Structure 1
Amino acid sequence: MNFRSSVFLVAALLATPASAAGTNADVVRNLASRVGPIVGAASACQAIDQGRVQAIVDKFREVIREASTGGSDRDELTRVFNGYVADGRNRVGAAQTDCNAAGRQLAELERSLGQSAPSQTATSLAGVIAPSAAVAATAPTATLPPPATSNVQGVTANEIRFGIAAPFSGASKELGRQMKMGIEAAFNRANDGGGIGGRSLRLFSADDGYEPARTLDAMKQLYEKDKVFGFIGNVGTPTSAVAMPFALQRRTLFYGAFTGANILRNDPPDRYVFNYRASYAEETDTVVRYLVKLRRLQPRDIAVFAQQDAYGDAGFSGVAKAFRSLGLADTSIVRFNYKRNTVDVDEAVNQLRAMKNPPKAIVMVATYRAAAKFIEKTRDLYPSMLYTNVSFVGSTELSDELMLLGPRYASGVIVTQVVPAVGGYSSAVLEYKGAMEKYFPGEAPSYVSFEGYIAANVLVQALRRVGNQVDTEAVIDTLENMRDIDLGLGAKLGFGRAEHQASHKIWGTALDERGKYQAIELE
């Protein structure tokens, strides 16, 4: 069956009694395989007016509703269509389709849909799926009318509001600032491409100072005063332990938090919680295996320097779990602590100095200033010590702190990453840098802002797939059906009903004497 005849057949079937719905669904699946890749490819191209794409997506969803006998049928057809749309986007990301070809295919689709169905049939597919004749005639510059006002909190006729609760003051304020910048860079880029069905994405922020005692007020400000639709990029483990229950109680999206703690990774996952990044357990497992298998260290040679709270506990638990997975005893792991939002590491340093047989490697679960202070006070005492850090440390900020002390403090310091090296030339890195240069000129690339940018881009894809009828349940259903997302990272991303973490990839980096991160092999 060719494309135009399948369009005609769906138009006819939609006018038949409900008893033929099974046949309708089969034909809609067939049509999804033809329409989905085209609109998916077009949606990945900034030069193509996204209003044209969204018009077809919205109308196709109407076709799905008409061809369905119930919610399960509708969900199944929606998953099929979303899968084909994702395939189309991935082909552009993998350079298998260029945007010129995508534009030609979209125009051909518009013409075909506008001409195929019988004009005398009120319920024909042309009336359901095709843009109007006027829109089709002016396809290169066509735009959709403003979306209707929504009764969903945070979704208006003009914008979709998200909130971030993070430290914008105090010792860890750079983590909040960088995460916010990365998200806003992705949002601004999406807005320049037409937004979400004509709506702009807007980010509201509230400062909790990386103190759990302040987090509840920050969340209330965002939800009750700023009226946000959902939360994205909240920073920290102890603060997320307060923020996440707040979002869950209100059945509100809690997405892409800047933490790898297991409290956000329940099994089965909490419906409203989605993570972009790999967990601390995965980061520490990778680095322990690196130290034992590649650097040939004995278990007694590895100790932990950790923040004395839920963040430090999460990292320490990851190290202990890694020991057990290697068949090693975890009862003798030494832990040195420091207090959150301070650089008071003297007690930890004194404990290290008192050891008769000091370790040869320190796995650090800290923020950048405390980590730098600990290295400063121990580097001369133990010149051959290996220092490793999890990604939350704030890689760029750690490098800056250490280089102020001198190259010998920075050289060889390892950080596990949940995004590729920002000094590389992958398509994802180049796109991120281009966005930062455009929207935040003068700001240097940062691992934290890069993570925020990637996480926000995945959310943008989900919102575009949802269409104009944005609500929390629709966004979650869409996220759970996103598979094999290729953003040019070198690793595919994806979610599922039992998988609310998009990435499990760990990259290894080490600082050189210039304070630049170089890629290293961890296995």
Structure 2
Amino acid sequence: MIDVLPQKAAARRPLAHARVAAILLASLVAGEAVAAPGENVSVARQLGGRVGPIIGAALACRDIARPRIQAIIEKFQLVIREAASSEADRDELTRLLDRYVAEGRGLVTSGRMDCGGADRQLADLERSIAAPPPARANLPAVSIGPATAQAATVPAQLLPPAGNVRGVTQSEIKLGMVIPYSGPVKESGRLLKIGVEAAFNRANEAGGVNGRMLKLVTADDGYDPARTLDAMKLLYEKEQVFGYISNFGSATAAVAIPYALERRTLFFAPYTGANVVRHDPPDRYVFNYRPSYAEETDALVHYLVKMRRLHPRQIVVFAQNDAFGDAGFAGVAKAFRTLGASDNSIVRVNYPRNTVEVDDAINQLKLLKIPVKAVVMLATTRAAAKFIEKAQGVFPGVIFANISAVAGSALASELMLLGPRYAEGVIVSQTVPGVSGYSSLVLEYKNALAKYAPGEPADYTSLEGYIAASILIEGLKRAGPNFDTEQLVETLENMRNIDLGLGTQLGFGRAEHQASHKIWGTALDDSGIYQPVELE
């Protein structure tokens, strides 16, 4: 634990901690000596108490480059991996590190350490770890067993048999997916599953991934965060899945991600653009395909101002009252600032999540003195359709601009049931190319739908599921036949310039766990068909 010391002493002590931590971390990662059996966890606890505050203090300083911090975090993750012989030990060490990281942050935020001191102690740690062997001659004789901590970076054929990896057998890779089968967005969950399964089936028919078949197991949380944890546990504990792919929702992700991270389990391509899945530095086991909601709303506001010639004050926000709505609103605020308008002037009206209760929002907008010319909408399908139905008669000629989470095809169907005039001109930003297009990936996706989900029309949500699954399949192939989660993470972080035939290249990096930043614009015509719109 870190003691609360007088300021001068507190400034000196972290540097001493950095030197001790560097010695321990260097020897543990390098495997230069061996501790007695049973002492591994104890040594890792000691190391966490030294390294954690250094990481935390550095994270509290924006000017310290995140890749430097991430490199230390990854080294300690290797230590945990090798030190712990059981899942309980790994969970304990991870929670302990998190606590020490929080204490390190507190040193900076409370003013007991400045960022100069945080940078120096991090540099001291980096130099000692990077020192050549002669400088380590007097290191204490501690280690954590076999020198396999670097397994994630060695050739795949030298890794332990994949049969020892949860969710992976000699013939199968099992992945989980938490989606809504019930509730107001159940259709989005169904479509997302169809897309992922189409990609899996296509890969399986071609021989699988390095000889293994892909299997998808799903669980229903009804888009209700109170049910998400049980669904996650069902897939992890009962179904023994390797990882999760394309979980649906923002508030649900806020529950699911801590559970996945505690178990160092892959959380791949969740269907959300919220900030909860986009930390800096990124969470090691969380990878996104899609751009953020903030990127989508930023693009929509710029389109409305630059292309449709609206004044920012004529644009209002209709949002779900949760993390989903907050994330999209952040992009609107950013766009306002970029355009020289005050983000304090933005009018936001809300509706409760998992409902279609939009009357209060409509009534609030009626009271505005400035005419409403456009509404940026951060809503799910039915709530968006209900708002458009009621608002169209109140605000003639208003432009309704939705983000992709609205589920474009489902929204089009809802609006066409009301009548063509409700659909015509409604804008939806998309994180995938147009389903009516002819890019090689879209054609491949349509062929897969026709074969594995006959009768299902092409849809933006299922296309995103197909793309997400295709990226993961490529990562699994590159990871080789003998892999585990750490090996796959390393492989994904080294995947650059992925060309799936989208018309834009995708890629990850150690400090970049989002594959795409491309946003496509679409607008409904009076027949309910989306036509391309140039957003810039």
Question: Could you say which TM-score interval applies, normalised by the shorter chain?
Answer: 0.7 to 0.9
Normalization by structure 2: what TM-score?
0.70
- Does structure 1 residue 475 correspond to structure 2 residue 466? no
CA distance in 1, matches of 2:174, 2:488: 14
Instruction: Letter of the 1:414 partner, please give it.
Output: I
- 1:244–1:254: 8 Å Cα contact kept in structure 2? yes
Q: Give the Å deviation of 1:465.
A: 1.0
State the distance in 2 between where 1:483 and 1:303 align: 38
> With structure 1 as the length reference, what TM-score do the two structures score?
0.72
Residue number among 240, 261, 279 corresponding to 1:248 in the alignment = 261
- Verify the 8 A CA contact 2:194 2:462 in the aligned structure 1: yes
**Secondary structure of residue in 2 paired with 1:468:** coil
Match of 1:182 in 2: 195
* Residue equivalent to 2:134: none
Once the two structures are TM-superposed, the CA of residue 263 in structure 1 deviates from its matched residue by 1.4
Is 2:441 aligned against 1:428? yes
Q: Distance in 1 between matches of 2:427 and 2:152?
A: 49
Please list every run of 5 or more consecutive structure 2 residues that lacks an aligned counterpart in the other structure. Answer: 1-146
Q: How does 1:366-381 map to 2 (within 5 A)?
A: 366-381=379-394
What's the CA shift for 1:383? 2.3
**What is the Cα deviation at residue 149 of structure 1?**
6.5
Distance 1:234 1:75 in 2: 28
How far did 1:243 drift? 0.4
SS across alignment from 1:380: helix
* 2:428 counterpart SS class: strand
Mapped to 1, the partners of 2:304 and 2:489 lie a distance apart of 39
- Deviation at residue 327 of structure 1 after TM alignment: 2.3
State the 1:343 CA deviation. Answer: 0.9
Once the two structures are superposed, residues 354-385 of structure 1 have per-residue CA deviations (whole angstroms, 9 ceiling, x without a partner) of: 22223100000000100000000011222210
Q: CA deviation at 1:349?
A: 1.0
- Residue number among 206, 211, 224 corresponding to 2:237 in the alignment: 224
Any runs of at least 4 consecutive aligned residues in structure 1 with deviations exceeding 3 A, and if so which?
69-78
Task: Report whether the alignment pairs 1:399 with 2:412.
Answer: yes
CA distance in 2, matches of 1:259, 1:267: 17
SS at match of 1:185: helix
Distance across 2 between alignment mates of 1:496 and 1:301: 39
Match of 2:171, as an amino acid? Answer: N
**AA matched with 2:190:** R
- Give, in angstroms, the shift of residue 199 of structure 1: 1.1
1:329 aligns with 2:342: yes
Whether the 8 Å CA contact 1:428–1:488 is kept in 2: the answer is: yes
Between stretches 387-396 and 292-301, larger displacement belongs to: 292-301
Report the Cα distance in structure 1 between the residues aligned to 2:376 and 2:151, rounded to whole angstroms.
50
Residue 385 to residue 249, structure 1, CA distance change in 2 (3 Å): same
CA distance in 2, matches of 1:74, 1:156: 19
Task: Provide the secondary structure at the position in 2 that maps to 1:420.
Answer: coil
| Cα deviation 1:26-71 (Å, max 9, x = unaligned) | xxxxxxxxxxxxxxxxxxxxxxxxxxxxxxxxxxxxxxxxxxx998
Question: Aligned residues, how many?
Answer: 389
CA contact (8 A) 1:155 1:470 kept: no
| Alignment check: 8 A CA contact 1:238 1:310 kept | yes
Cα separation, 2, equivalents of 1:466 and 1:194: 16
Q: Distance in 1 between matches of 2:208 and 2:262?
A: 29
Calculate the aligned-residue CA RMSD, in Å. Answer: 2.0
The one-letter code matched in structure 2 to 1:285 is D
Residues 135-174 of structure 1 correspond to what in structure 2 (within 5 A)?
Answer: 150-174=163-187
Q: Which residue of the partner structure matches residue 133 of structure 2? A: none
CA distance in 2, matches of 1:489, 1:431: 11
| Contact 2:162/2:482, CA 8 A, preserved across alignment | no
Identify unmatched segments of 5+ residues in structure 1.
1-68, 79-127, 129-146
The amino acid across from 2:311 in the alignment is Q
Counterpart residue identity of residue 480, structure 1: E
1:306/1:364 contact within 8 Å kept: yes
Which of 283, 293, 300 is the matching residue for 2:313? 300
- Which structure 2 residues correspond to residues 24-173 of structure 1 after superposition, within 5 A? 75=153, 150-173=163-186
Q: Could you say which residue in structure 2 is the equivalent of 1:312?
A: 325
C-alpha distance in structure 1 between counterparts of 2:149 and 2:339, whole Å: 47
Task: Tell me, yes or no, if structure 1 residue 289 matches structure 2 residue 311.
Answer: no
* CA distance in structure 1 between the aligned counterparts of 2:274 and 2:319, rounded to whole angstroms: 14
Match for 1:360: what amino acid? K
Determine if the alignment matches structure 1 residue 456 to structure 2 residue 469.
yes
2:343 aligned counterpart, secondary structure: coil
Q: Is the 8 A contact 1:148 1:157 kept in 2?
A: no
Corresponding residue number in structure 1 for 2:460:
447
Partners of 1:73 and 1:474 in 2: how far apart? Answer: 8
